[in-house]
Amino acid sequence: MKLSQANLSQIYSEHLWLEISNSDLELARPNPQNYSNDTGRNYAFFNRLCLNAFLHWCQENLELEPAVFPNEEVLPMLWEFFTGCGINLYGKRLVLIPTDAIDMADFAVPQEWVDIPNLAADYYLPVQIDLENRSVHFWGFVSRSTLKAKADFDSIYRLYYVEGDWVIPNLEMLEGASNLRDEKGQVVPLTTLSNGEAENLMVKLSEPSPYSPRLKAKFEKWGALLNESRWLQQLYEIRTVGFNLSKWLDGIVEAGWQTFDEWLNAKIPAFRSKQVKGIELDSPEKIKRAVSQFRNSQSEVVVPNDIEDREALVHLLQHTHDETVRWKAAEYLWTIDPNYPNPAIRRVMDLGVQLMGHPIALMIAVLRKLDGKIAVLLRAYSMGGQTKLPPDLKLIVLDENGDPIPRLEAVSRSQPLDDYIALYFTADVGDRFSICLTLEDTTITEQFVV
Amino acid sequence: MPLEYFYTLPCVEEHRILWQIEPRSRRHIENLRQIIQPVNYPVNDPWEAAIAQYLFEQLRQHPEDELIRKHWMAFLLRRCEIVAKRILPLLGDRHHIGFDDLFMMASVAAIAPVQFFRNFDESRVQLGFWYPTFIRFTDIRLRNLLLPELRRETGNHMFGQSNLGLVARSSRRRVREALERSGYGNAQIERYLLAWQCFQEYTDSVNRRFNQFNGRDFQNIATRYNELNQSESSVTGSEIQTWLDNIGEAIRRLSDPPRTSLWTGFSFQSDEGRNLLENIAFETSYDEEMEENVNRLRQAIADVLNGLQEIKERQMLFLKYGLELTQGEIAEERGINQSTVSRRINELIKRILLGIWKWFNRKQETKYSPTELAEIQAVLYQDYADKIDRFVQNSISSVTEESWKLLKLFYVVKQPLSEIGNMFQRTEEEVRDRLNAILQQLCSNMLAQIQAEFNLELQPEGVAFKSIPTIVETRLERILQYLH
User: What type of residue is B98?
Assistant: G
> Distance of CA A421 to CAs A197, A391, A435, B150, B419, Å?
40, 11, 13, 51, 83
Q: Where are the alpha helices (DSSP H) in A268-377?
A: 284-296, 309-319, 323-336
CA–CA separation, B222 vs B233, rounded Å?
Answer: 12
Q: What would the pLDDT profile of A54-103 be if each residue is shown by its tens digit?
A: 999 988 887 788 899 999 999 999 999 999 999 999 889 999 999 999 89
Chain A residues close to B328, C-beta within 8 Å: 61
Q: Is B274 left (phi over 0), alpha (psi -120 to 50) or beta?
A: beta
B285-300 as b/e: b if 16+ CB within 10 A:
eeeeeeeebeeebbeb
A 175-234 residues inside an 8 A Cβ radius of B? 175-176, 179-183, 210-211, 215
Look at A181 and B150 and tell me if their CB atoms are within 8 Å: no
CA–CA separation, B291 vs B288, rounded Å?
Answer: 5
Residue-level pLDDT at B266:
59
Look at A169 and B373 and tell me if their CB atoms are within 8 Å: no
Q: Which of A108, A169, A354 sits opposite B216 (nearest CB)?
A: A354
Residue A146: partners with Cβ closer than 8 Å, 6 or more residues away: A162, A166, A183, B371
A440 and chain B: CB distance < 8 Å anywhere? Answer: no
Q: Which of the residues A1, A3, A18, A58 would you substitute to probe the B interface, choosing the one with the greatest number of B C-beta atoms within 10 Å?
A: A3
Inter-helix orientation angle B463-482/B327-334, to 10°: 110
Chain A residues close to B324, C-beta within 8 Å: 13
Q: Where are the beta strands (DSSP E) in A283-431?
A: 344-355, 358-368, 374-382, 394-398, 404-411, 420-427
Supply the ipTM of this predicted assembly.
0.83
Quick one: which H or E segment has residue A204?
helix A195-205
Residue-level pLDDT at B364:
61
Query: Pick from A368, A352, A422: which is nearest to A251 by CA?
Result: A368
Q: What would the pLDDT profile of A234-287 be if each residue is shown by its tens digit?
A: 999 888 877 778 777 777 776 677 888 777 776 655 445 677 777 888 888 888
Residue A237: partners with Cβ closer than 8 Å, 6 or more residues away: none
How far from each other are the two terminal CA atoms of chain B, in whole angstroms? 17
A353 and chain B: CB distance < 8 Å anywhere? Answer: yes
Please indicate, yes or no, whether the overall pTM of this predicted structure exceeds 0.90: no
Q: What is the DSSP letter of A11?
A: H
A441 and chain B: CB distance < 8 Å anywhere? Answer: yes
Chain A residues close to B325, C-beta within 8 Å: 13
**CB contacts < 8 A (A, B):** 191
In chain A, helix, strand, coil percent, each to 5?
A: 35, 30, 35
Q: Which of A13, A39, A105 sits opposite B205 (nearest CB)?
A: A39
Look at B147 and A102 and tell me if their CB atoms are within 8 Å: yes
Look at B366 and A179 and tell me if their CB atoms are within 8 Å: yes
Q: Which of B118, B204, B374 sits opposite A170 (nearest CB)?
A: B374
Q: What is the 3-state secondary structure (H, E, C) of chain B?
A: CCHHHHCEEEEECCCCEEEEECHHHHHHHHHHHHHCCCCCCCCCCHHHHHHHHHHHHHHHHCCCCHHHHHHHHHHHHHHHHHHHHHHHHHHCCCCCCCHHHHHHHHHHHHHCHHHHCCCCCHHHCCCCCHHHHHHHHHHHHHHHHHHHHHHHCCCCCCCCCCHHHHHHCCCHHHHHHHHHHCCCCHHHHHHHHHHHHHHHHHHHHCCCCHHHCCHHHHHHHHHHHHHHCCCCCCCCHHHHHHHHHHHHHHHHHHHCCCHHHHHHHHCCCCCCCCCHHHHCCCCCCCCHHHHHHHHHHHHHHHHHHHCCCCHHHHHHHHHHHHCCCCHHHHHHHHCCCHHHHHHHHHHHHHHHHHHHHHHHCCCCCCCECHHHHHHHHHHHHHHHHHHHHHHHHHHHHCCCHHHHHHHHHHHCCCCCHHHHHHHHCCCHHHHHHHHHHHHHHHHHHHHHHHHHHHCCCCCCCCHHHHHHHHHHHHHHHHHHHHCC
Spans in chain B with pLDDT lower than 70:
1, 13-15, 41-43, 94, 155-160, 257-302, 307-309, 359-366, 484
Chain B residues close to A353, C-beta within 8 Å: 220
Look at B201 and A39 and tell me if their CB atoms are within 8 Å: yes
In chain A, which residue's Cα lies nearest the Cα of B149? Answer: A103
Look at B156 and A182 and tell me if their CB atoms are within 8 Å: no
What number of other Cβ atoms are within 10 A of residue B137's Cβ? 19
Q: What would the pLDDT profile of A137-153 be if each residue is shown by its tens digit?
A: 999 999 999 999 999 99
In chain A, which residue's Cα lies nearest the Cα of B167? Answer: A101
Chain B residues close to A357, C-beta within 8 Å: 216, 219
Residue-level pLDDT at B15:
64
User: What type of residue is B464?
Assistant: A
Residue-level pLDDT at B271:
46
User: What type of residue is B356?
Assistant: I
Q: Which of A1, A108, A210 sits opposite B94 (nearest CB)?
A: A1
Look at A101 and B169 and tell me if their CB atoms are within 8 Å: yes
With pLDDT > 70 as the criterion, what percentage of chain A qualifies?
Answer: 96
Q: What would the pLDDT profile of A320-337 be if each residue is shown by its tens digit?
A: 988 888 998 988 888 888
A100 and chain B: CB distance < 8 Å anywhere? Answer: yes
Residue A78: partners with Cβ closer than 8 Å, 6 or more residues away: A70, A84, A112, A226, A232
Q: B334, B457 in Cβ contact below 8 A? A: no
Q: How far is B477 from chain A (nearest CA, A)?
A: 22
Q: Which of B224, B327, B367 sits opposite A172 (nearest CB)?
A: B327
CA–CA separation, B131 vs B49, rounded Å?
Answer: 6
A420 and chain B: CB distance < 8 Å anywhere? Answer: no
Q: Which of the residues B123, B144, B169, B209 would you substitute to probe the A interface, choosing the one with the greatest number of A C-beta atoms within 10 Å?
A: B144
Look at B119 and A163 and tell me if their CB atoms are within 8 Å: yes
Look at B205 and A210 and tell me if their CB atoms are within 8 Å: yes
Q: Which of the residues B145, B171, B230, B345 would you substitute to probe the A interface, choosing the one with the greatest number of A C-beta atoms within 10 Å?
A: B171
Chain A residues close to B365, C-beta within 8 Å: 181
Q: Which of the residues B158, B205, B376 would you substitute to probe the A interface, choosing the one with the greatest number of A C-beta atoms within 10 Å?
A: B205
Q: What would the pLDDT profile of A179-194 be if each residue is shown by its tens digit?
A: 788 889 999 999 999 9
CA–CA separation, A89 vs A80, rounded Å?
Answer: 24
